[in-house]
């Protein structure tokens, strides 16, 4: 029996733990910010997905590895933006939001992502992210040096919220 459970509650501490390999094949499904935006998604792109050479159908280059998370937003979400943090000057974490349903979304075989829903190195606006399932792909900016990678944070200022797709009872 399958339920669609709207989960607006935080499950853990202030910072989320890294879950999975953060790749296209095994994205991080763990980010569940609550009404206060907790937890922050803190991770590193280093050692994550290496097959993406660009984002937004070639619109931006991906100089190094990319961290891939997956979230489902719904109309009940209270967040208005997802802020991107971690700019060091030599590594500029940039967020590309891609619907999981579009052709080429997180396509490691082709080495690119599909059409971006939105993108930002500062803050992606909820108004540009209609309810649905998305990859949140974080990688260096187009102008960062080849091989650039580093730590980043994604901070929502409210619930997305997420929807568990496969919750089995009994």
CB 84 within 8 A of CB 157: no
Given the complex with other proteins, which of 59 and 158 has the nearer CB atom? Answer: 59
Contact between 149 and other proteins per CB under 8 A: no
Residues 5-44 close enough to bind other proteins by CB under 8 A: none
Residues 48-107 close enough to bind other proteins by CB under 8 A: 54, 56-61, 92, 94-96, 103-104, 107
Provide the minimum distance between the beta carbon of 65 and other proteins in the complex, in angstroms, as a whole number.
17
Provide the minimum distance between the beta carbon of 111 and other proteins in the complex, in angstroms, as a whole number.
6
Which pair of tokens denotes residue 27? 């994205």
**CB contact burial 136-151 (16+ within 10 A = b; e otherwise):** bbbbbbeebeeebbbe
Provide the minimum distance between the beta carbon of 118 and other proteins in the complex, in angstroms, as a whole number.
4
Given the complex with other proteins, which of 82 and 160 has the nearer CB atom? Answer: 82
Say how far apart CA 7 and CA 126 lie, in whole Å: 18
Say how far apart CA 92 and CA 94 lie, in whole Å: 6
Burial of 28 (0-12, 13-18, 19+ CB in 10 A): buried
Number of residues that bind other proteins (CB under 8 A): 29
* Positions that interact with other proteins (CB under 8 A): 54, 56-61, 92, 94-96, 103-104, 107, 110-112, 116, 118-122, 124-125, 128, 141-143
């Amino acid at each position: 029996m399958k339920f669609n459970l709207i989960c607006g509650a935080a499950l853990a501490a202030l910072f989320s733990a890294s879950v999975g390999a953060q790749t296209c094949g095994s994205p991080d499904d763990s980010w569940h910010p609550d009404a206060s935006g907790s937890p922050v998604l803190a991770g590193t792109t280093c050692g994550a997905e290496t097959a993406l050479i660009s984002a937004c159908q070639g619109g931006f280059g991906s100089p190094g590895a990319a961290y891939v998370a997956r979230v489902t937003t719904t109309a009940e979400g209270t967040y208005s933006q997802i802020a991107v943090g971690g700019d060091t000057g030599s590594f500029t974490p940039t967020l590309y939001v891609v619907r999981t349903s579009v052709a080429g979304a997180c396509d490691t075989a082709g080495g690119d992502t599909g059409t971006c829903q939105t993108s930002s190195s500062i803050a992606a606006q909820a108004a540009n992210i209609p309810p649905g399932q998305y990859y949140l792909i974080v990688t260096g900016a187009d102008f960062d040096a080849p091989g650039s990678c580093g730590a980043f944070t994604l901070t929502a200022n409210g619930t997305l919220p997420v929807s568990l797709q496969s919750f089995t009872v009994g």
